[in-house]
Amino acid sequence: MVQDEVLYNADFAQVIYYPDTDILRLNLIGNIMKEDYQTAWNVLLDCYLEKQPKKVLIDQRPMSKASLESRAWFVVKWLPKFKKKVNQKIRVAVVLSKSIAMKIGGQFLVDAATKDVPNLEIKTSQNEEDALSWLHQIAN
């Protein structure tokens, strides 16, 4: 069994790579300021480009808040950058927060990514088990 790699660890985000399952995971944590939110997603992209996994897990359950401005940045700036740098098919599972506001914000980002980045196959889940189960299924 290969050791999991913590690629980034801050009080607002963690990026972990699981070599055994080829999953890159982003945990968003707490009340995330705009600069930290941008850092978290940019670090995820850098780690993605380094590891080239076919599966990504985004867990927003530990996150309590991110601004509308942060989400707008994600859609307007980050998604186009991601789309330009990544051209392989990727499965992305998003575990949504229990908070209604965070869930709506997360669904908004998922909808934008689904529409703007054709090589992403994205699914939202209410829990980690469902997300991992879907990630492990054979992609079509």
pLDDT the model gives residue 139: 54
pLDDT the model gives residue 31: 94
Those residues of the chain that have pLDDT short of 70 are: 139-140
Task: Please give the distance of CA 26 from its chain centroid, rounded to a whole number.
Answer: 5
Task: Give the pTM.
Answer: 0.93
pLDDT the model gives residue 102: 84
Report the C-alpha gap between 109 and 78 in whole angstroms: 11
CB-CB contact of 107 with 96 (8 Å): yes
Give the three-class secondary structure for 32: strand
Structurally, what CATH architecture does the domain formed by 14-136 represent?
Answer: 2-Layer Sandwich (3.30)
Residue spans of the domains in the chain: they are 14-136
For the chain, what percentages of helix, strand and coil (3-state, to nearest 5) are there?
A: 45, 30, 25
